Structure 1
Amino acid sequence: MPAIPASKSTLIVDLVISADEYLKHYKGSVTQVSAFSQDGRRVRFPTAILQPFVTREGIRGSFAIHFDAEHKFVNIVKVG
């Protein structure tokens, strides 16, 4: 899959989180996800924003995380 260009207000992250690993997030023992965006920036965000994307296998795919001008979370969209 080709990289999707990212702007200052959007970061694209590729995530693979197993169901067992996500269970730690769901139970609250882990509350943040830390990942690198496709352009190499580190991003940390609350686990809760991934809840709509959880399957029996966990979470897998590429996600566009959108931020406003003050760098506050706006939304997340699965892009691949």
Structure 2
Amino acid sequence: MKSNVYLFNLDISYHTFQHHYSGAASSVIVHTDSGLTLQLPAMRLRPFLTQLGVRGRFRLTVDSNNRFKSLEQIS
């Protein structure tokens, strides 16, 4: 099965993440390096939340149906 990989940067402060994305249905809009706009459930970013927020470079992998496979912080 073919996978699609998207790279993007995030810089969301802790306060902003907690305030805006704490609901179960909340989502985060990201802009990939290739110019695409993607919508991710905020819960996918929770493992990367630190006291500084969610910051860094990320790699999102989805399957051929655009279903989530993995999200990893790469820097």
CA drift of 1:38 comes to 0.9
Q: Give the SS at the match of 2:45.
A: helix
Query: Which letter does structure 1 place at the counterpart of 2:64?
Result: A
Query: Which letter does structure 1 place at the counterpart of 2:14?
Result: A
TM-score with structure 1 length normalisation? 0.83
CA drift of 1:29 comes to 7.9
CA contact (8 A) 2:5 2:62 kept: yes
Q: 1:51 aligns with which of 43, 46, 49?
A: 46
Count of residue pairs the alignment pairs up = 72
Q: Identity over aligned residues, as a percent?
A: 24
Q: Give the SS at the match of 2:34.
A: coil
By relative contact order (CA 8 Å, sep 6+), the higher-ranking structure is 2
Unaligned runs of 5+ in 1: 1-7
Counterpart residue number, 1:21: 16
Where is the strand percentage greater, Structure 1 or Structure 2? 2
CA RMSD of aligned residues (A): 1.6
Q: 1:75 aligns with which of 53, 60, 70?
A: 70
Q: Structure 1: which 4+ aligned runs deviate by more than 3 Å?
A: none
Deviations 1:32-58 (A, max 9, x none): 100100111111110000111000010
Unaligned runs of 5+ in 2: none
Query: Which letter does structure 2 place at the counterpart of 1:22?
Result: F
